[in-house]
Structure 1
Amino acid sequence: MRALHFAEYGPPSVLRVAEVPEPHAGPGEIRIAVRASGVTPSDAAVRSGRFRDFMPLALPHILGVDAAGIVDEVGAGVTDVGQGAEVFGMVDLARLGGANAEYAVLAAWTAKPAALSWTEAGGAAANVETATRVLDRLGVTNGTTLLIEGAAGGVGTVAVQLAVARGATVIGTASVGNHEFLASLGARPTTYGPGLDTRVPAGVDAVFDCAGKGSLPDLVKLVGSADRVVTVADLNAAASGVHLSRSAGPGADPQALHGLAVAAGLAEQGRFTVPVAGVFALDDAVEAHRLSETGHARGKIVLMS
């Protein structure tokens, strides 16, 4: 099968599409013929070698953690889905990849709703899992006022919608050009940067940092406690006493993975979509990674297999 991989750490130019052996579903897993798969900031971190000291990989390594497609192989013990079903989901994150390919093995999945295109579904699962995990940790529910730093990106756009669906009031930071877009998702937009405390009304209950741009000290000051701030993007979180949330993989947090089914249900109700920043062929993945590394993609970047 054809797959996107790299044989040495480095910039996007190290990426190659090559023929590799097909994977097969193990116990509790399914294999899909991939229609679309996502590109996440973590893919760039893996490719560049940022994680190699504590998460060494056997190279060459196939990238991608979420995908959508048609089930063509079912592992032992799987009873909720069969061959031919349309699904979206995630790989076992312990592998740090495998989805940017013609075939991918998923460890967590749910039925693809008709309301989501293949492009949207292909980029949904990782951001839904991440957003759900953090919203749960922060206890976001009806009546919560939540500030999302970097709300126009892939995780941010999903977090806005899931938080609004819980009944939260959401304030989202973004560049001025993204304010109308954020408002369409249900957020109250404002600009990021110095002086945020003068632009945000009093009474913010929690902060979700999706940007990782060094604003944690200001965000902690704004909400009054480091315990009420969670980041998924700032590796220096400990210096501010803030929790850096990372997925331990499918199965480790059933409540977070339940978010896949919740998002699918909201999509069927017309209350959830996956904003797509760019769609690329697998052969154009270098350009997809370059876009990801700008930090200015509005929504998810998707590869079509």
Structure 2
Amino acid sequence: MPKHVGLISFLLACSLCSLPKAANAQALVPHTLQLDTAKLEQQGLSLAQEAAQLAQFQQVELAMPRARLAAQLAPKSDKVWFLLGGLYLQTKDINKAIASLNKANSLNPQNADVLFALGSAHFQQKKYQAAAGYFQSGLKLKPNDSEGLFDLGNAYFMLNKLPEAIAQYDKAVVQDKKFWPAINNIGLIKYEQGDKAAAIKQWQAAVAIDKKAAEPLLALAVALYNKGDQQQGLAMGETALRIDGRYGDLDFLKENLWGDRLLAETKKFLELPRIQAALQQKESPAPKQ
């Protein structure tokens, strides 16, 4: 992939090339550099496209400088600022993400995706009321967006507005029958409310949609184990942790909105010898062939 020169270096190089050779004892006449702003903007949009493609392949470190330069070359493109803000979100640089996304929103207030991204940024800062406001604004523009509905449900969840959270999760599932994260989170709420049977049904439904979904599979494993179905619970727990070992970390589970009751039971479950063995197997490097 070609290397892209910084704007200052580019301008400096152009200005040097445009200067005439000096005659002896003759003062240099300054030349005004004429920039083709349309061409520069087009280069910026091309860079943004490259950055977006790199981001799709999780190459954020390569995408970031391209996106920053693209924002300089095409400062009036809300899509470029949205891309840059999204990259900052991925790198957890939340303040810069919000600044870039606010710029995108000022250029195009009708872009619902920018509002959803601003909601996510404020959610990561634990500003749940502000996050809910952005999600609500985005949903006014895209009322049937399943991810926006889910995110608003999560904000309500963190604000302890549990009926409202469930209502948003239900709406998300209406829009997308296979949107198992919303079904999973209804299970999380039901479990904390003491309705374990309803929670188990939700997690079973989520796993039926995606058998590789580690989160509802582990939650179901813990619930079944504590219900008395120990062998089934252990087998499911082993499978879940082999799929994604991150779910063996209680802090990671808390980030994923697992409540105190489920976390306490999961802590004991993770300490069981068979589950410990599954975790260690996941952490061990594969033998060389």
Q: Normalised by the size of structure 1, how large is the TM-score?
A: 0.25
Computing the radius of gyration from Cα coordinates, the structure with the larger value is: 2
| The structure with more strand, counted as a fraction of residues | 1
Q: Normalised by the size of structure 2, how large is the TM-score?
A: 0.26
| The structure with more helix, counted as a fraction of residues | 2
